[in-house]
Homo-oligomer: A and B are copies of this chain.
Amino acid sequence: MSVAAAANQQQNLTAAESDPQTLGWMQGFPPPQDRTITFQNGSFRSFPELRWAWSNIRQLVPTVNVWRGAGPASVLPRADHDIGASASVTMDGRPMTFARMLEETYADGIAVLHRGKLIYERYFGALRPHKPHIAMSVTKSFTGTLAGILIAKGKIDPQAPITDYVPELKASAFGDARVHEAMDMTTGLKYTEVYTDKNSDVWGLRRANGMAPIEPGYEGATNIFDFLCAQQKQGEHGKAFAYKTVNTDVLAWICRRASGMTLSDLLSERIWAPMGAEEDAHYHVDRIGTESGGGGLSTTLRDLARFGETIRNHGRFNGRQIVPSQVVEDIARGGDPEKFKPAGYTTLPGASYRNQWWVTHNAHGAFMARGVYGQGLYIDPKAEIVIARYASHPAAGNAANDPVTLPAYMALAKDLMAGG
């Protein structure tokens, strides 16, 4: 079989067939050479290797801890309810169940909260309840929420020029942009983020943020800050939404400068410790110790669910107001769907993007944190549901998940509202 044919066959492996334990990835001491995943050769980013890697990222790259604090974990009350048979119809018209949806979309784990109770929790692949899984761009919604907290405290002015906080960005694309434009991703940037294109600028960001090796002779930025300072403008700021991770990295920098804290300490102090996280989280860091605020957070599934429940409860959880309620309400209200529309997300008609969250504007007012390869946090205020999900889908883009997952979430919400 040719290499291409073998690769193609691997791409077609189902979730069960690509289980890293079944395939023997990183099993044994040492693992067999053809079952070894390394950072250096880039294999961790390929399917099916990523099925192991997204649950073990700290073994591949340097990280910084997000401390859960010394207190007890907050209680997540349980009320087991097997929702596996909840029936839906995919966007392309196929009948589906909740359990089958998890398989088809390569879930590594799912936790469903209904009215604050953990009704359904499953783990697959290499994920375990106490192990952090990389959140990918779900990280952005944490950064956006931290920025919201700092805005509520008067430490960041969303209308201020970005250069008020990071003057070094003066000569970059961000030199004439405002904080809220980075928060809502409406800056005009030359930067491209096309995961399937090896020449896309996102690869430069990955080299800079430490998630891709640097080849000898590489002349691009080797840390996040230098990469941000080199971004060039294209088009106008404030006109249209364009999903570009560098906005979040800029926002993370604004948070650091405004708080005087690392992003990891800020997350620990403001959210992780007060919400009574069960386990520490971590960010992967670049070569000078900077957290990737755009995609580098890893958490356990249950802690992601706790964060979702905090947001669903207007910022209140574990007996205290963790996120000011107006921060959550600003997110839930959403941004301008007209600015979102030109981006062409066919699976998210009528949606908007606000403060690093995706807002559906559907009948339930659902909003989401989303990350490549199927990471997600789905909050349905009307149905009082939070769905935390980690995954390792063969395809990066969520267009591969949405047609199956989003109808399943909506069907589940209706079932639960009907008492089903």
Q: What are 14 A-B residue pairs whose CB atoms fall within 8 Å in the complex?
A: A26-B289, A30-B223, A30-B225, A30-B290, A36-B288, A39-B62, A40-B287, A58-B65, A59-B62, A59-B64, A59-B285, A62-B62, A62-B63, A70-B73
| Contacts A62-B60, A62-B61 given; does A72 touch B72 at CB 8 Å | yes
Q: How large is the interface on A (under 10, 10 to 19, 20 to 34, 35 or more residues)?
A: 35 or more
Give chain B nearest CB distance to A40 CB in angstroms: 6
**How far is A262 from B26 in the complex, measured between Cα atoms in Å?**
11
**How far is A287 from B60 in the complex, measured between Cα atoms in Å?**
7
- Mark A233-265 against chain B: 1 for CB-CB distance below 8 A, else 0: 000000000000000000001001100001000
Q: Which chain B residues border A39 with CB–CB below 8 Å?
A: 62, 287
**How far is A309 from B58 in the complex, measured between Cα atoms in Å?**
30
Q: Which chain B residues border A64 with CB–CB below 8 Å?
A: 56, 58-59
**How far is A40 from B210 in the complex, measured between Cα atoms in Å?**
12
Q: Which 6 A-B pairs have the closest CB atoms?
A: A29-B256, A30-B225, A59-B289, A36-B288, A59-B64, A216-B216
**How far is A290 from B38 in the complex, measured between Cα atoms in Å?**
11
- Tell me which of B30, B72, B288 contacts A31 (CB under 8 A): B288
B60:A288 contact, CB within 8 angstroms = no
In this complex, which of A36, A285, A288 has the most chain B Cβ atoms within 10 angstroms of its Cβ?
A: A288
- Chain B's closest residue to A215 (CB) is B216
B63:A59 contact, CB within 8 angstroms = yes
A123 located at the interface, meaning its Cβ lies under 8 Å from any Cβ of chain B in the complex? no
**How far is A39 from B39 in the complex, measured between Cα atoms in Å?**
15
A120 located at the interface, meaning its Cβ lies under 8 Å from any Cβ of chain B in the complex? no
